[in-house]
């Protein structure tokens, strides 16, 4: 059984202030940590800064998942009057083979991204400052993570994003995929990632920055949104198991349901159905995007890929009041 949680994060974002918003944004999040597995090497104790631990628990509780886990993934949402920021990150699981908890890095990275998102409105600048903070944090010793940060302006409808690796997002418009962030990978199943690791011995230990991907390598995208657009941000647990066209179909089916007549309900149902479909695919023999990509690389990997899965859905509605 996968642990999962979801909640509509906000109704109308932002509330009307002195300036006028063109759009309201309706948001929902859902996540599921993969079933527990015994690590090859015992994981080192979780020793993150207490402020990060408190923020992590508060974030999950605020999104409706107190006491749950997103596994190696993490996420956040934040509102600034006319601006809304959301992010997903996926800690690279391979670190567990060395006794390092992969969740530590992704949680710390998004903690600092959340912290810097007020002063760094562009997602790439936010990602850079968050990464710099992780490198300076002596309690985050080792790890790697992909990351996707989006900023939405409710006054103008402008979406700005920075995506590094194989987390990402898509935009559904008129029942079809209108945009998909490109996957960045060095080779199959090795995405671009922000990393922190040491080289040298004894007192000569230094953090290696020469072999790391940089936030400046992130794919940056800008797009003006329209009434009815649906933004779906996800980690690769979603993307590897569910076809993009299926996400568009799920959106279309939800919008046709008579009980889903509000943006809040629609966002909630889309997030829930994408997560549910992902979990089914993980444990099925159905052909998946990951299977197809593996086959292109002459690797036999039939069926679903069991992984942590996180999704954030944003419904864009033109204001009528």
Express each pLDDT in 198-212 by its tens digit: 765 554 444 555 457
pLDDT score of 10: 41
The structural domain count of the chain equals 1
pLDDT score of 260: 65
Query: Tens of pLDDT along 86-117?
Result: 999 999 998 888 888 999 999 999 999 999 99
| CB atoms inside a 10 Å sphere around CB 67 | 9
Measured CA to CA, the distance from residue 70 to residue 151 in angstroms comes to: 22
| CB atoms inside a 10 Å sphere around CB 299 | 12
pLDDT score of 245: 97
Give the global pTM: 0.91
Q: Is the pLDDT of residue 4 over 90?
A: no
Instruction: Tell me which residue range forms the domain holding 290.
Output: 3-318
Report the CATH number that the domain containing residue 14 is assigned in CATH.
Answer: 3.60.40.10
Range in 32-36, 56-60, 160-164 the model is least confident about: 32-36
Name the nearest CA neighbour of 145 among 194, 87, 208.
194
Q: Is the pLDDT of residue 11 over 70?
A: no
Contact predicate 39/99, CB 8 Å? yes
pLDDT score of 201: 55
What's the average model confidence in pLDDT over 257-274? Answer: 88
Residue 212 backbone phi and psi in degrees, to 5 = -110, 150
What's the average model confidence in pLDDT over 210-230? Answer: 91
Q: Is the pLDDT of residue 272 over 90?
A: yes
- Which range is most confident: 171-175, 255-259, 316-320? 171-175
pLDDT score of 200: 55
Query: Which residue carries 């760094």 as its tokens?
Result: 120
């Amino acid at each position: 059984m996968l642990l999962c949680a979801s909640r509509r994060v906000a109704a109308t974002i932002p509330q009307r202030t002195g300036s006028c918003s063109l759009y309201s944004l309706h948001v929902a999040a859902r996540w599921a940590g993969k079933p527990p597995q015994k690590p090859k090497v015992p994981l080192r104790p979780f020793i993150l800064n207490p402020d990060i631990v408190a923020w992590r628990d508060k974030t999950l509780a605020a999104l409706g998942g107190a006491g749950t886990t997103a596994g190696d993934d993490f996420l956040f949402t934040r509102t600034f009057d006319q601006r809304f920021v959301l992010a997903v990150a996926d800690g690279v699981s391979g670190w567990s083979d060395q006794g390092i908890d992969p969740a530590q890095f992704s949680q710390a990275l998004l903690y600092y991204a959340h912290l810097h998102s007020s002063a760094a409105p562009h997602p790439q600048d936010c990602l850079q400052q968050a990464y710099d903070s992780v490198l300076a944090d002596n309690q985050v010793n080792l790890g790697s993570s992909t990351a996707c940060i989006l900023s939405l302006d409710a006054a103008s409808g402008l979406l700005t994003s920075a995506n590094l690796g194989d987390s990402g997002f898509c935009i559904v418009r008129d029942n079809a995929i209108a945009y998909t962030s490109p996957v960045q990978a060095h080779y199959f199943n090795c995405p671009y990632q922000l990393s922190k690791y040491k080289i040298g011995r004894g007192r000569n230990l230094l953090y290696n920055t020469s072999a790391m991907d940089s936030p400046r390598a992130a794919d940056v995208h800008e797009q003006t949104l329209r009434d009815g657009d649906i933004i779906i941000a996800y980690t690769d647990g979603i993307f590897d198991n569910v076809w993009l066209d299926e996400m568009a179909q799920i959106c279309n089916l939800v919008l046709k349901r008579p009980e889903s007549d509000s943006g809040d309900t629609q966002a909630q149902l889309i997030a829930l159905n994408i997560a549910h479909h992902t979990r089914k695919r993980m444990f099925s023999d159905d052909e998946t995007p990951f299977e197809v990509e593996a086959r292109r690389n002459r690797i036999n990997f039939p069926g679903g890929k069991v992984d942590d899965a996180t999704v954030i859905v944003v419904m864009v509605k033109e204001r009528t009041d």
